[in-house]
Structure 1
Amino acid sequence: MEIALILLGAVLCFLRVEAQCRDGWLTFHNNCYLFSRDKASWGESAAICNVFHSHLAIIESAEENSFLKSELDHLHGGSSSAAYWLDGSDIEVEDIWRWSSTGQKITYLNWAANQPNNGHESNCMCLYGGLSFNMADEHCSTSYNYICEISADDAGEILG
């Protein structure tokens, strides 16, 4: 009987263990997000996220978009000219926006008014504080903050 209770306890503990994000990352649903403190170009930002076995953030729903905007408002006091790189770009084909890490066409878009607005000059997507952290297209070489994203299931892996 004692062994059965121990086994039952172990099973219940195992079932209650949820994937957790690493220190400094925030959890939303089954994903972890890192909001950078430093700035880099879009390509450099993608490479930095890759070092963490993650990618620039992909926004797939209004709910996820609201979470990210809320966190950015919290970080910047609701009014800011800060901008954060996302994974989206139209580098391959102008006006066809794709998530660069997956190649998938972007299905959820929340562009700020009059965005995208820079045609061939601006091929990378960000959340821009001056536009209430709505999506904007910007020059990929501009240094902005960035948001990395990783599945919480993969977040516990040891780097090294």
Structure 2
Amino acid sequence: MENPAPTKPAKPTKPKKPTKPAAPAEAPAEAPAKAEQPATITDASGFQSMVAFITSPTGERFVVLEIFILTAMTLLIFLLYQKEMKKRVEIEMAMNMIRNIVVGIDSNYKDKDDTPALNCFKPLDFQILAAAQNLSEEMRYLAKRNDQLQKEIDTLTRNLKDGWVIFSNAYYLFSAELRSWMDSQKKCEREGAKLISIETVEEQFFINHQVKGRRKFFWIGLFKDKNENWKWLSGRLPEDEYWVYYSLHDELNHDCTAMTFDCIDTCWIAVECHLQMPYICKKVPNDAWL
């Protein structure tokens, strides 16, 4: 048998030198640029859509509305500013007016006003504030009186529409319904008035004229008390008497007085209180009128 031929040992391989890392490819750097391109297209598309919306009728209305709101807000801010400035000017004018009044009332305040003070308020300023407070209280009082007067005017207007007649500082109701003397008094009280008590000669002539024009008998507030004395419902005794010549004012049971139209100047007539006839109410306003 033949011996196998010996094999040559393999040559050792030299280790490869480490290769330098390759420079990063420029392709990734271009990637952002490529990524931005769609965004640019989208922005342009959004801008075009906005322009298209604004130029549309709906967009125009929207723009006009926005301009109107902005203008209104600007105007409102300006008016509020003007109002605030006007208020400050009015306060300053009021303070100056009060200052002049106070100085005019007492000349000693002139020297006090010119002298410097250590505190933020001068003595005169405290006097001005006190005067302003007094004026404010007086204005509130006048406003309250004005409200009372307005209520009286409203009452007067309503009464005039209901048939009341004004004379001097009072007004009168010549009723159309028939009642007894006592019921007439109660009816007048429900109206906030009283069965008439005549106070003056002028009022007597006025009532005479009104009764003659209506050609009716009317109850008045003159009655006979327990002592057989004639007295007005107001508590006064009649200073002058205007009995008609045929009146039975001294007779028994003739305890109430009416005004007759068949007379000249003396028109009182005493009759029984249960008779049914019209009546005269008198309402005197309070001092809110005066």
TM-score between the two structures when normalised by the length of structure 2 = 0.43
Match of 2:279 in 1: 146
Percent identity of paired positions between Structure 1 and Structure 2: 24
TM-score between the two structures when normalised by the length of structure 1 = 0.74
**CA RMSD between the two structures:** 2.9
The alpha carbon displacement at 1:110 in A equals: 1.0
Match of 1:134 in 2: 267
- Taking a change above 3 Å as real, the CA distance of residues 144 and 152 of structure 1, as seen in their structure-2 partners, is same
Contact 2:185-2:195 within 8 A present in 1 as well? yes
Higher relative contact order (CA 8 A, sep 6+): 1
Cα distance in 2 between the residues matched to 1:141 and 1:35: 19
- Taking a change above 3 Å as real, the CA distance of residues 113 and 155 of structure 1, as seen in their structure-2 partners, is farther
More strand by share: 1
Cα distance in 2 between the residues matched to 1:143 and 1:130: 18
State the Cα deviation string for residues 51-85 of structure 1 (Å, max 9, x = none).
01110111122210111111122223xxxxx2100
Paired AA for residue 99 in structure 1: W
1:60 aligns with 2:193: no
Q: Which moved more, 1:24-33 or 1:132-141?
A: 132-141
Contact 2:164-2:174 within 8 A present in 1 as well? yes
The alpha carbon displacement at 1:92 in A equals: 1.9
The alpha carbon displacement at 1:119 in A equals: 1.3
State the Cα deviation string for residues 12-70 of structure 1 (Å, max 9, x = none).
xx7xx796532221111101100000110000000000001110111122210111111
Aligned residues: 140
The alpha carbon displacement at 1:105 in A equals: 1.5
Contact 2:208-2:261 within 8 A present in 1 as well? no
Match of 2:74 in 1: none
Unpaired stretches in structure 2, ≥5 consecutive residues: 1-89, 95-138
Contact 2:230-2:237 within 8 A present in 1 as well? yes
Match of 1:108 in 2: 240
Cα distance in 2 between the residues matched to 1:104 and 1:70: 23
Cα distance in 2 between the residues matched to 1:36 and 1:70: 15
More helix by share: 2
Match of 1:29 in 2: 168
Question: Between Structure 1 and Structure 2, whose CA radius of gyration is higher?
Answer: 2
Q: Structure 2 residue aligned with 1:124, among 233, 256, 276?
A: 256
Q: Which moved more, 1:111-120 or 1:37-46?
A: 111-120
Cα distance in 1 between the residues matched to 2:174 and 2:288: 15
Match of 1:71 in 2: 210
Unpaired stretches in structure 1, ≥5 consecutive residues: 77-81
The alpha carbon displacement at 1:149 in A equals: 0.1
The alpha carbon displacement at 1:116 in A equals: 3.9
